[in-house]
């Protein structure tokens, strides 16, 4: 069985990730062929699920259900009003191999993240706008850039009833018809210009942009970081973590006095990488400085306590050579509704130690982590991603299921400047205290985003290949 406790909201949708899981060998609903798979599912959930005490008794469950339906029937249901502490994040995948690739930053993608708006007050027609494009991706090579808008896909006008099929269907090649924003009238005009792009398997470098700015004599470092991934293709090279170290070496040498960490598009990822990044930022005081503390279900807590002691629940900051914590007066973190999991772990973990200012939108609100569970025998092709742990900072705080609300609430305007530009709304506010950027186009209201698709799949890696968790399963069964 494979284990990887994780903190992220994974992209598994068109233009940003994999297609919906399909499995031609999946037995039909209410088939006895489902029983061995569902027995395996129940066994895993009983051992690891954070809310194992809320699971139904096994012999009362219908193990002839399709595995997806059976898995969902076991979950501790979330309700915003009556049960806000419930499970919003556990999920099942019918393709374990594709899931693991995507979690390592590799997926079938055009390389283009976008958001969707209603185009009219009747909330019928929809227009898309590019938020960012991955470097050297198919979308980048096709000429897409931040701020581009599109009104049609494959010749069909986007509407509230068809955008999901057009953008998240089974196809891999898309022809986008572009529009233009009239900056005088604030209206959106159609054009006949089209661009075609085909999704391909692509590895994303999570470090999107870094820079150093001088503002009123003060040196300010800026890092736009889009996913907590340590290495390409799940390798052990730590290439992406080492890239972060190189950036902070530059920040340190430049003598930065403040840091702007841009996590507005970051849904999370590896907790080990979160430790590394946070350790380069924190005001480091020693090896016993707690970054976060874990809490599992009752039986797993007991086992870990007995086998490894209470200290095994703690994750500590590490002594990073390129730490800038002692030279910066504050860290400003740029956020959005898509900032989640490991990103929130960093926010929560840094707050007890230094001045952390948030600018942007309220974050997603994910203070729990999951693990990838697969069948060692290879007979079961499914992968489970159940929530198994809740995390707290050094002060015992974990009260952000509703997200972190920024001190300065600011949404990106429709008139988008390039990321890294001092005229870009969120960065301008972080550097100068306010923004003069952007004008919202008339009649355009937000409806959805490709980044929203990431929030459908909860994941947060706490400790990759955690032998403590693996040992628990072997001793229990």
CATH for 272: 3.90.226.10
Let me know whether 104 and 117 are in one domain: no
What is the number of domains present in the chain?
A: 2
Q: Which of 325, 14, 284 is nearest to 172 (CA)?
A: 14
pLDDT digit string, tens, across residues 328-345: 999 999 999 999 999 999
Residue 234 tokens, joined: 């799940």
Q: What residue numbers bound the domain in which 58 lies?
A: 1-109+206-435+454-477
Whether pLDDT at 456 is above 80:
no
Let me know whether 340 and 468 are in one domain: yes
| The Cα angle at residue 301 between residues 298 and 302, in degrees rounded to 5 | 85
Is the CB of residue 252 less than 8 Å from the CB of residue 291?
A: no
Let me know whether 425 and 294 are in one domain: yes
pLDDT digit string, tens, across residues 16-29: 433 434 343 445 56
Q: Check residue 107 and give its pLDDT.
A: 67
Q: What integer is the mean pLDDT of 422-440?
A: 84
Q: What integer is the mean pLDDT of 393-402?
A: 96
* 3-state class (DSSP) for residue 179: strand
Let me know whether 188 and 270 are in one domain: no
CA distance 477 to 207: 41
Q: Which of 412, 398, 329, 401 is nearest to 366 (CA)?
A: 401
pLDDT > 90 in the chain, percent: 65
Whether pLDDT at 12 is above 80:
no
Q: Check residue 370 and give its pLDDT.
A: 86
CA distance 297 to 306: 14
Q: Check residue 182 and give its pLDDT.
A: 77
Let me know whether 318 and 213 are in one domain: yes
Let me know whether 226 and 196 are in one domain: no
Q: What integer is the mean pLDDT of 156-183?
A: 91
Let me know whether 36 and 185 are in one domain: no
- Look over the chain and give the mean of its residue pLDDT values, rounded to a whole number: 86
Task: Quickly state the pLDDT bin for 465 (edges 50, 70, 90).
Answer: very low
For residue 155, give the DSSP letter. Answer: T
Q: What integer is the mean pLDDT of 165-186?
A: 87
397 compared with 122, residue with greater pLDDT: 397
Segment among 19-28, 109-118, 230-239, 434-443 with least mean pLDDT:
19-28
Let me know whether 13 and 80 are in one domain: yes
Q: Which of 249, 237, 138 is nearest to 196 (CA)?
A: 138
Write the CA distances from 311 to 33, 182, 227, 314, 397, integer angstroms: 44, 60, 28, 6, 18
9 compared with 49, residue with greater pLDDT: 49
pLDDT digit string, tens, across residues 250-271: 999 999 999 999 999 999 888 8
Q: Check residue 94 and give its pLDDT.
A: 81
381 compared with 408, residue with greater pLDDT: 408
Let me know whether 104 and 147 are in one domain: no
Let me know whether 84 and 161 are in one domain: no
Q: Check residue 442 and give its pLDDT.
A: 42
272 compared with 396, residue with greater pLDDT: 396
Let me know whether 283 and 397 are in one domain: yes
pLDDT digit string, tens, across residues 207-231: 999 999 999 999 999 999 999 988 8
Task: Quickly state the pLDDT bin for 6 (edges 50, 70, 90).
Answer: low
> Contacts from 159-165 at CB under 8 Å and sequence distance 24+?
159/124, 159/125, 159/126, 160/118, 160/123, 160/124, 160/125, 160/126, 160/447, 163/116, 163/126, 163/128, 163/448
Let me know whether 171 and 265 are in one domain: no
Residue 309 CB neighbour total at 10 angstroms: 9
């Amino acid at each position: 069985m494979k284990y990887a406790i994780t903190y992220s909201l994974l992209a598994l949708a068109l233009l940003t990730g994999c297609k919906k899981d399909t499995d031609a060998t999946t037995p039909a609903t209410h088939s006895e062929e489902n029983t061995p798979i569902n027995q395996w599912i129940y066994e895993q959930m009983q051992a690891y699920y954070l809310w194992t005490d809320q699971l139904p008794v096994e012999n009362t469950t219908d193990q002839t259900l399709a595995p997806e339906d059976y898995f969902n029937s076991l979950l501790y249901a979330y309700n915003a009003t009556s049960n806000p502490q419930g499970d919003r994040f556990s999920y099942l995948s019918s393709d374990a191999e594709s899931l693991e690739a995507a979690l390592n930053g590799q997926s079938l993608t055009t390389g283009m993240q976008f958001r969707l708006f209603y185009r009219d007050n009747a909330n019928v027609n929809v227009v898309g706008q590019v938020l960012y494009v991955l470097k050297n991706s198919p979308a980048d090579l096709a000429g897409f850039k931040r701020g581009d808008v599109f009104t049609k896909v494959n010749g069909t006008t986007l509407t509230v009833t068809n955008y999901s099929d057009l953008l998240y269907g089974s196809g891999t090649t898309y022809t986008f018809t572009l529009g233009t924003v009239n900056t005088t009238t604030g209206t959106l005009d159609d054009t006949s210009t089209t661009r075609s792009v085909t999704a391909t398997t692509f590895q994303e470098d999570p470090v999107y942009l870094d820079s150093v700015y001088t503002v009123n004599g003060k040196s300010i470092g800026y890092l736009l970081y889009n996913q907590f991934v340590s290495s390409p293709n799940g390798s052990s090279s730590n290439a992406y973590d080492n890239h972060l170290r190189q950036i902070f070496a530059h920040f340190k040498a430049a003598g930065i006095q403040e840091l702007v960490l841009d996590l507005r598009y970051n849904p999370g990822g590896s907790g080990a990488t979160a430790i590394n990044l946070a350790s380069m930022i924190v005001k480091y005081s020693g090896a016993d400085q707690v970054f976060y503390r874990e809490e599992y279900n009752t039986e797993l807590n007991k086992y870990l306590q007995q086998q490894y002691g209470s200290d095994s629940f703690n994750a500590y900051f590490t002594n990073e050579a390129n730490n800038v914590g002692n030279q910066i007066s504050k860290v400003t973190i740029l956020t959005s509704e898509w900032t989640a999991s490991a990103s929130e772990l960093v926010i929560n973990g840094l707050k007890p130690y230094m001045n952390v200012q948030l600018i942007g939108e309220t974050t997603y609100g994910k203070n729990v982590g999951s693990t990838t569970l697969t069948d060692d025998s290879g007979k079961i092709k499914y992968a489970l991603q159940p929530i198994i742990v809740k995390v707290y900072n050094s002060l015992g705080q974990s009260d952000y299921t509703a997200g972190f609300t920024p001190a300065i609430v600011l949404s990106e305007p429709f008139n988008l400047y390039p990321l890294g530009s001092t005229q870009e709304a969120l960065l301008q506010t972080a550097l100068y205290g306010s923004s003069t950027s952007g004008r919202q186009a008339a009649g355009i209201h937000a409806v959805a985003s490709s980044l929203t698709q990431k929030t459908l799949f909860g994941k947060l890696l706490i400790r990759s290949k955690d032998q403590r968790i693996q040992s628990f399963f072997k001793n229990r069964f």
